[in-house]
Amino acid sequence: MTQPGKNTLSGLVVNRAMRRQVIRLSQDTPIGNSINALIKYKINALLTTDAADKPIGVLSKTDIMGAYYAGLPIDSPLSHIMSTPPLFCSPEDSLEDALEQMRSNGIYRLYVNDPENDEIVGALAYPDIVGMLYLYCHECEYSHFRQKRKKDKDGVRRFAVEEIMTREVKSVFKDEPLLQVMELLSEYRLGAILVKDRENIPCGVISKTDLALIYKHGVDSQTAAKAIMSSPVQSCGADELLEDAIRKMIFTDVHRLFVHQSTPDNIVGVISLSDAARIRSGSCHACISSRIKVDAP
């Protein structure tokens, strides 16, 4: 059992949540090839290596967006845009410590290095932690899915989306250029941005994945946002349970949902897998009150 005051991550180690497939490319690989790998494996970053196959950096969709904004040729090597150095943790480090390391360094992933043989054995990102939390919440006796009821009839207060969401929502108009989209994504460190028409009605979303793809296909950065946006806007209600929102993100393979109130056109916030990971306590307060069972690793 967790102890009073602790959360669902207490006592768990990195090895329980990390993904074991680590995609790596040489620093000499062209940017275009890295986009292929990111899309193929549905990841947001990959490890870059030197001639001796030693990890020396990280290439993320943020780095690719920066290259697109700067007008770098798509065949430029990753060494021109990768971030250095990569940050590591151990398989036996606590998830609490790993999450704090990501938070304090302002990063979204760590690579997992086995100190016994000095080998990269995995990667840990916010979605991996959320996926593990979701499994615990789904199997917990207090899960509303397990009990087949939506309302709080068992004395457990469940988190609502509005308690966790980010309330400030950045947006662009659909006729504004992609350069403006990239500037806002970079300035506010966003993974995606809402697109509205001139009547302020939400009509689409543009993510860093969308930008990476059009960069590869040579689309001019002055192109209007409406040309590449995805629609309709994936959203959830502010009063929906956090567990429902997490489930929707996991099973639709999206990293964020825009949050509406009263009507889908009234967007009041955004919730991401990163937000869900940061609360560290699953989807209700059962684990905080020591009622959720966490198996020893």
Is 288 domain-assigned? no
Looking at residue 144, its pLDDT comes to: 64
Is 240 found in the same domain as 138? yes
Looking at residue 293, its pLDDT comes to: 37
* Boundary residue ending a domain (108, 124, 140): 124
Is 109 found in the same domain as 162? no
Is the alpha carbon torsion for 83, 72, 34, 232 positive or negative? positive
Residue type, 170: K
Is 169 found in the same domain as 109? no
Is 139 found in the same domain as 116? no
> pTM here?
0.85
Task: Per-residue pLDDT tens, the chain, 297 aa: give them.
Answer: 334 445 556 678 999 999 999 999 999 999 999 999 999 999 999 999 999 999 999 999 999 999 999 999 999 999 999 999 999 999 999 988 998 999 899 899 999 999 998 999 999 998 888 888 777 777 777 776 665 544 545 567 788 999 999 999 999 999 999 999 999 999 999 999 999 999 999 999 999 999 999 999 999 999 999 999 999 999 999 999 888 898 899 888 888 999 999 999 999 999 998 888 776 556 666 554 333 333 332
Distance CA 273, CA 17 (A): 14
Is 110 found in the same domain as 184? no
Burial 156-169 (b: 16+ CB within 10 A, else e): bebbbbbebbbeeb
Which H, E and C letters describe the chain, residue by residue? CCCCCCCCCCCCEHHHCCECCCCEEECCCEHHHHHHHHHHHCCCEEEEECCCCCEEEEEEHHHHHHHHHHCCCCCCEHHHCCECCCCEECCCCEHHHHHHHHHHHCCCEEEEEECCCCEEEEEEEHHHHHHHHHHHHHHCCCCHHHHCCCCCCCCCCECEHHHHCECCCCEEECCCEHHHHHHHHHHCCCCEEEEECCCCCEEEEEEHHHHHHHHHCCCCCCCEHHHCCECCCCEEECCCEHHHHHHHHHHHCCCEEEEEECEEEEEEEEEEHHHHHHHCCCCECCCCCCCCCCCCC
Is 292 domain-assigned? no
Residue type, 277: A
Domain at 23, CATH number:
3.10.580.10
Looking at residue 276, its pLDDT comes to: 81
- 264 contacts: CB under 8 Å, gap ≥ 6: 202, 233, 235
Is 285 domain-assigned? no
Q: Would you tell me how many other CB atoms lie within 10 Å of the CB of residue 98?
A: 25
Domain that holds residue 84: 14-124
Nearest to 130 by CA among 215, 251, 38: 251
Is 157 found in the same domain as 60? no
Is 47 found in the same domain as 104? yes
* Boundary residue ending a domain (90, 124, 158): 124
Structure-block tokens of residue 273: 């897998």
Is 113 found in the same domain as 167? no
Distance CA 126, CA 108 (A): 6
Looking at residue 290, its pLDDT comes to: 33
Is 9 domain-assigned? no
Is 230 found in the same domain as 102? no
Is 113 found in the same domain as 24? yes
Is 165 found in the same domain as 39? no
Is 286 domain-assigned? no
Is 141 domain-assigned? yes
Whether the ω angle into residue 91 lies within 30 degrees of 0, i.e. cis, is no
Is 162 found in the same domain as 42? no
Is 86 domain-assigned? yes
Residue 25 CA, distance from chain mean position: 21
* Boundary residue ending a domain (81, 98, 124): 124
